[in-house]
A = this chain, B = another copy of it.
Amino acid sequence: MPRNPTLKSPWAARDRVTEREAKREAVLQTAARAFAENGYHRTSLEEIAARLGVSKPTIYYYARNKDDLIAAIAARALDEIVAAMDADEQSSALSQLSHLLRRYAEIMTTDFGQCAIVVRDARIEGTVGEGFRKSMSLIDTRIRELLILGEKDGSIAKCDIKLTSFMIAGAINEIVRWYDPAGTLAPPMIAEKFVNQLTTGLAPRK
């Protein structure tokens, strides 16, 4: 902390940026929680402001309206999945796909993941909705690429690429509908078991 608070220092400037980021983060986290608990339609900006102990105009500093707010939350969820898409030339396609799907499944157990599915289903228009659909499409494209690569490197059995990508995304997206934070399985374990089941299938391996 600077000894003389009236003195402007680059540290103070950096702190202001950090503080702004921390506040934005608190708004997103609190809003995501409220949307996940009560649904999009039953959650108001007033309620989110009240949870944060700030005025409604303060919220407007971070989001123009409720659509923008939930879209920012949804975008964050997808960004975290996209971050798990990095190509790793050393690993098999199946192992890269498993890494991506585990992260995808984990995100779907969070408030942010739940908001992502709300945004998808609400078909929000405009630039925010567009950005969201672009990220969804990025993830879908990467899953299909890895299925094709896997057939080539022998780590994934030949399959109907389109149907299989739909099947995988469907199974994972629906985690938001049944995941119970009070349940006995932690998200990383759910993600692990889920990906194993998709990998090995129902029939016993000889």
Q: How far is the CA of A32 from the CA of B48 in the complex (A)?
A: 37
Select one of B164, B171, B185, B201 contacting A170, CB under 8 A: B171
Is the C-beta of A200 less than 8 angstroms from some C-beta in chain B? yes
Q: Bin chain A's interface residue count.
A: 35 or more
| Chain B residues, Cβ within 8 Å of A166 | 174-175, 178
Is the C-beta of A203 less than 8 angstroms from some C-beta in chain B? yes
Interface string of A189-204 (1 = CB under 8 A from B): 0100110011111111
Judge whether A193 and B157 touch: CB under 8 Å.
no
Select one of B121, B157, B177 contacting A204, CB under 8 A: B157
Is the C-beta of A97 less than 8 angstroms from some C-beta in chain B? yes
Judge whether B193 and A199 touch: CB under 8 Å.
no
Select one of B154, B185, B199, B202 contacting A202, CB under 8 A: B199
Is the C-beta of A205 less than 8 angstroms from some C-beta in chain B? yes
Is the C-beta of A94 less than 8 angstroms from some C-beta in chain B? yes
A interface majority secondary structure? helix
Is the C-beta of A3 less than 8 angstroms from some C-beta in chain B? no
Judge whether A174 and B163 touch: CB under 8 Å.
no
Tell me the smallest distance from the CB of A88 to a CB of chain B, in Å. 17
Across the two chains, which residue of chain B brings its CB closest to A167? B171
Is the C-beta of A173 less than 8 angstroms from some C-beta in chain B? yes
Tell me the smallest distance from the CB of A71 to a CB of chain B, in Å. 19
Q: How far is the CA of A94 from the CA of B202 in the complex (A)?
A: 8
Judge whether A205 and B202 touch: CB under 8 Å.
no
Which A residues are closer than 8 A to B by beta carbons?
94, 97, 121, 147, 150, 154-157, 159-160, 163-164, 166-175, 177-178, 185, 190, 193-194, 197-206
* A-B contacts, 8 listed (Cβ < 8 Å): A94-B203, A97-B202, A156-B202, A157-B201, A160-B197, A164-B202, A170-B170, A199-B203
